[in-house]
Chains A and B, each alone.
Chain A
Amino acid sequence: DGGITQSPKYLFRKEGQNVTLSCEQNLNHDAMYWYRQDPGQGLRLIYYSQIVNDFQKGDIAEGYSVSREKKESFPLTVTSAQKNPTAFYLCASSTLRGRRNEQFFGPGTRLTVL
């Protein structure tokens, strides 16, 4: 099955701790994205990557970090510097070839800071 997976589905963190959210895709997509969604809100872009070992900040990158060591993987670390990390985090991927650039989304990780 081709797709994009995120783990864990639910994550609890104590204040002051860093936590890493996993995102893996086997769609051979070049681009990967991390979004944050707050209740009743749209998606806000945290980071995106179009190629291995390269990534760019989105609108709300502060307090987050990413890496892209493999094409298939784009983990997101929520650091203790993120003031309000409780949210639903969505990872997505898309191809950069041709003119179709719809995004394929993972099932999301719900992070709660205790």
Chain B
Amino acid sequence: SQQGEEDPQALSIQEGENATMNCSYKTSINNLQWYRQNSGRGLVHLILIRSNEREKHSGRLRVTLDTSKKSSSLLITASRAADTASYFCATDSNTGNQFYFGTGTSLTVIP
């Protein structure tokens, strides 16, 4: 399976702290994406990083990509209670037509 894995499976932090979650994958990719899912809802796209990029920022989000290690990290700075959700990484197939989602990190931000 090409499915990636997020680490840790669950993370609990205090509001205002930073949250870091990691994603490892198995095959070469064109790009890697991070999504957020609130409980019982659909996924929402957060950020996309291409295989030739090493770091990308969007607001309080910072994503890094290390293709030599086949890994990515998502950093959420100055976390808020509203950031409580599950976060998934997704990689595309060689053709770019399919996406493979990781198992997710469940983040809880305590007010």
Contacts and interface: CB of A to CB of B under 8 A. Distances in A.
Interface of A: 6, 31, 33, 35, 40-45, 48, 50, 56, 58-59, 88, 90, 92, 99-108, 110
Interface residue range, chain B: 20 to 34
A42 B104 contact: yes
B43 interface: yes
B98 A108 contact: no
B103 A105 contact: no
Contacts of B100: 45
24 contacts: A6-B42, A40-B104, A42-B3, A42-B88, A42-B101, A43-B43, A44-B101, A48-B97, A56-B97, A90-B42, A90-B43, A92-B42, A101-B31, A101-B92, A102-B33, A103-B33, A103-B35, A103-B99, A104-B45, A105-B42, A105-B43, A108-B40, A108-B41, A110-B40
Interface in B79-111: 88, 90, 92, 96-104
B48 A106 contact: no
A58 B101 CA distance: 13
A101 B96 contact: yes
Please name the 8 residue pairs, one residue from A and one from B, whose CB atoms are nearest each other, closest first.
Answer: A105-B42, A102-B45, A43-B101, A42-B101, A105-B43, A42-B103, A107-B42, A108-B42
Contacts, number: 58
* Interface residue SS majority, chain B: strand
Given A101-B92, A102-B33, A45 B45 contact: no
Contacts of A88: 40
Interface of B: 1, 3, 31, 33, 35, 40-45, 48, 50, 88, 90, 92, 96-104
Contact of B43 (A45, A101, A103): A103
B103 A106 contact: no
B42 A106 contact: yes
